[in-house]
Structure formats: C-alpha cells, structure tokens
Structure 1
C-alpha cells in the first residue's frame, strides 16, 4: 500500500456476508462443481431467487431457483472461458405464466485475503 494514503474505511467481504449484503451460497455452488467461495447479492436474492407470492403451486423454491442460477453461471463460465467478468441472461418465473429475462453479472475477484472468490449479481449491484 502507498504510504501516502491512509485507509479511512474498509468493508470486507466477510462483513458484507455477516450484514446480509452478500448471501453465501458456496455449499450449493460446490455441489455443482464450483471450487471457490461463491456469493449472490441480497438484491438478486430478494428480487429473483426468492419466489414471488402466488408461485407456491408452480414448483418454485429458493433452492430450485438458486440451482438454476448456479447451473446457468457454470455454463456461461465454460462458454466464455477464463474471464474475470461474464454477463448472461437467466429466465425467472415471476407469476403464473409470466417469465422475466434477467441480466446477470458474475465477477471473479480477490477475497479478503487475496483468494479467488465469485460474486453473482445484477449489473446495477456492481
């Protein structure tokens, strides 16, 4: 770090997870073959991974929607190769018979200790 600069404030990934700003989905991601710590933003989780009311009989669950998102992320990563940022679309059922095409951004970057980590988010969360 440059000695001429003083850090006024830092907000770690660990703190963001503790605060609920990032949701740790590493366990589910590992089941699909991901090898790094993986999180989704609370915005993506709340707006799209949590099924909207009225979809109870449509077979929708957080677990299923998360699985679909992670699988689509894995396919996009394999398609685009070794990039630190990828953009792709995911379809989410938002009401009976009504689908939304949602733009997703997945970013591979350094964690709190320089380790590779993955953050999956909406583009406006970047």
Structure 2
C-alpha cells in the first residue's frame, strides 16, 4: 500500500530548498565545513536573529561571522552528544542584538537546538533552531 493510498493526496509540501530560497532558513554550510561538519547546515531565521544577527550601528565590536562561529563550534560539541537521538539542545553566550536596558553589553545565554534529519532527497542535513521550533 502506498502513502497516497493510505493518507490520500498531498495537500501541500514545503521543501528545504524552498525554505532556503525564501529565507526561512539561512545556509551556513560553508563555515560549518570549517567547523568540521560534513553535512549541509542551516539556521532558522529566528535562530539567526537571536544568536547571530548583529546591528553594525551598535558601539561594541561584534560581527556576524564571529557570532556564527561560536554557534557552530558549540553545535559541533552538542552533535557529539546526540547518540541515539536526532535532536540535542545546547547553550550559547551572546550579547543580545537589541538594547535591553540594564547591562545591555553583557552576554546572556540562549538555548538552541540542533536537529539532524533527512533533506529533500533523504540525505542527512542539520538545522539549528530555537528549542520551540520544529
């Protein structure tokens, strides 16, 4: 019995390629390879905004490539703890991009989740996201 026979016709589908094309996912595979990832890696737009994005008008020296490297480095350590699971959470210290009033220059922890699963052609891919995303 086929999936179509069991569940009926597909109503809608949204591929990883479409998510990358429309910006819902940010492809970070090139830097991830430098961090020793061997499969494609992307961040959700929300994870990028919280952990990587940086407003260049802020006075303190930060840059997105350095912030991304921190995320990927810690994600690599988290990936080594996924034995038997396809998802693991990890924390990154980052200075929030927005001014939060008191101690606006101080790093704060943010929790992220690393998920390894099938891409559009059943190949392994990694997505880094906020814990409440799927």
Per the normalisation by structure 1, the TM-score is 0.89
**What number of residue pairs does the alignment pair up?**
125
Structure 2 unmatched ranges of 5 or more: none
Partner secondary structure for residue 57 of structure 1: coil
Distance 2:112 2:25 in 1: 15
Q: Report deviation, 1:29.
A: 0.3
Higher helix fraction (1 or 2): 1
Structure 1 stretches of 5 or more lacking a match? none
1:80 CA drift (Å): 4.3
Matches within 5 A, 1:30-109: 30-52=33-55, 55-58=58-61, 60-94=62-96, 97-109=105-117
Name the larger-Rg structure. Answer: 2
Mapped contact 2:4–2:10 kept (Cα < 8 A) = no
CA apart distance, 1:99: 1.6
Which protein has the bigger strand share? 1
Normalising to structure 2: TM-score of the pair?
A: 0.84
What RMSD in Å do the two structures reach over aligned CA positions?
1.7
